[in-house]
Chain A
Amino acid sequence: MTLAIQSDGLSRRFGKLPAVEGLDLRVPEGTITAFLGPNGAGKTTTIRLLLGLLKPTSGTCEVLGHRPGEVEALRQLGAMVESPSLYGHLTGFENVEITRLMRGGARSETDRVLEVVGLTRDAHRVVQQYSLGMRQRLAMALALFGSPRLLVLDEPTNGLDPSGIQEIRELIRQVPKQTGATVFLSSHILAEVEQVASNLVVIHRGVLRYQGPTGDLGDQGVPWQQIRVDQADRALAQLRERGLEVKYEEPYVLVQTPDEGVPALAALLVNSGLALHELTPRRVSLETRFLALLEGA
């Protein structure tokens, strides 16, 4: 597995205050990896360390095989850190042109990224007249310029309305499919993250709490199925007789059984003469698992 980001014992202190401590990050290439943590957890500090905007107090870090901040690393990455970094007195087109002149590239690339983010029609309007969503999309255009191998996005949906969030989410989702790039995405909106990210990195108080596939966060072994029947008492008794782990959370009877056992479970309930209204896997939201992880810490 090739790693887009790798750090070992990455730490940063501000005076005596530790912001990030001993981070051992492993971000696989070609994935969308979400970087989660409550406010003040050290997310932005970590991102700044990865981009070379800050120097670590100790530890090492590699971004696409280079040290952070090295010209070769910067050439292959696009980034959006916190608020969009735009010149308000210039047009969207001029903003992208400035990036083109700094990064190098054909004029057609300016038109391409503006088209990707859907700003072709408004490209010659002054950015001060843009809505927040349009500014975020323009910042995305700057980050996408030159089809970078790694896209680092810090809170890209901050302050956006639901439709704006959806637009940015779709853009993020398309990036690895179209260019094979890795996306490293910090966000507070866990429901959003759950929809786009295949991998998670969670930090809390500057310390790494979890990294791995999104589905494995807070994995509690055998999954729970939730059942709604006409006679819950009878269902509970029947299932206990079969030696299954059960509990009751009105209006559901919860049974711990693998997904493969669901057809047999349904047959058992129906054959027992119960009216089965609902049988669905109980999915614990990312938010619940995330909060549980932090509570455990």
Chain B
Amino acid sequence: MTTLMSLFSAERIKWRRNWATVAAILGPASLVGFLFLIFWNSEIQASKLGPGFLVWYQVVYSAWNLIFMPITVALVCLLSWGEEEEAGAWKHLLLQPVPRQFHYLAKCMSHATLLLIAQLVLALLVLLTSLLISKYLLYLDMGPRRLWLFSGLGATSLIASLPLVALHTWLATRLRGVGSNLTVALVGSLLTVVLAGLRMPVMWSPWALAASGVRVVFVSEPGKVGLFALACGLVIAFVALGTFDFSRREEQR
């Protein structure tokens, strides 16, 4: 455990001045900024759909879970492994007196923490913008902002993002280039949208799980337990697969 925490500390040093950290912050910031501009400049009569705060939370978290989060996860993982590849830092990493599985697990922890940062940035921006909306866009009828609902959305989004982190941490060691990694993220999201509501295996995918993050907040307790169990199962499966693949391969890249 000490070794793993030391490796994680080493990973935290790598966050400084690097693009993976920038992606983790810019991903949620660009989404909230984009949606806020649309709200600000439109005459959406959200109050007809429901309380303004609810619409705002649902719109942001739906877009985040379905599209922006998979893209952000793919970018964070790709950029993080990319810096190891750049200038051959791989070799130095693999020559340290640490079992290779620990390197991989430390990377998983690093990516999950960066996603936690992204979720916190998102939550902070959603709260700030909801204050602006309630003050200036009176027609949205913000009503009382229910923190339990907001924290529920954040928590399910975080849990739903973990299988994606586990999957992309592994995929980024196998697929080269931004294009292929983003394609996987987008195809996963699109399939989820196209096949929504169907009882097909793809609906058990990490993307579908992420997409259902918002819906689950409003359903009964078993739905939440199901999301949590499925997320745990997928995380364990992808981490185990990635660790096995990473440790048995010869020199990486």
A residues near B (Cβ < 8 Å) are 48, 51, 53-55, 71-72, 74-75, 77, 79, 81-90, 94, 97-99, 101-104, 126, 142
For the complex, would chain B's binding face be called helix, strand, loop or mixed by DSSP majority? helix
For the complex, would chain A's binding face be called helix, strand, loop or mixed by DSSP majority? mixed
* A85→B87 CA distance, assembly (Å): 6
* Segment touching A, from B13-21, B158-166, B207-215: B13-21
Q: Which of A53, A97, A103 contacts B96 (CB 8 A)?
A: A103
Chain A residues with Cβ under 8 A from B6's Cβ? Answer: 101-102, 104
Q: Which of B13, B88, B95, B96 contacts A94 (CB 8 A)?
A: B13
Contact A53 B250 (CB under 8 A): yes
29 residue pairs A–B, Cβ–Cβ below 8 Å = A51-B95, A53-B91, A53-B94, A53-B250, A54-B251, A55-B250, A71-B97, A71-B99, A74-B96, A74-B98, A75-B97, A77-B95, A81-B88, A81-B95, A84-B87, A84-B88, A85-B92, A86-B87, A86-B92, A87-B86, A89-B17, A89-B83, A94-B16, A101-B7, A101-B9, A101-B10, A102-B7, A102-B97, A102-B98
Give the residue name and chain of the A residue nearest to B98 (CB). A102
* A213→B62 CA distance, assembly (Å): 71
Contact A90 B89 (CB under 8 A): no
Chain B residues with Cβ under 8 A from A102's Cβ? Answer: 6-7, 10, 93, 96-98
Chain B residues with Cβ under 8 A from A81's Cβ? Answer: 88, 91, 95
B150 at the interface (CB under 8 A from A): no
Contact A90 B16 (CB under 8 A): yes
Instruction: Report which residue of B10, B18, B88, B96 has the largest number of chain A beta carbons within 10 angstroms of its beta carbon.
Output: B96
B90 at the interface (CB under 8 A from A): yes
Chain A residues with Cβ under 8 A from B90's Cβ? Answer: 85
* A126→B86 CA distance, assembly (Å): 15
Instruction: Report which residue of A83, A87, A97 has the largest number of chain B beta carbons within 10 angstroms of its beta carbon.
Output: A87
Chain B residues with Cβ under 8 A from A87's Cβ? Answer: 14, 83, 86-87, 89
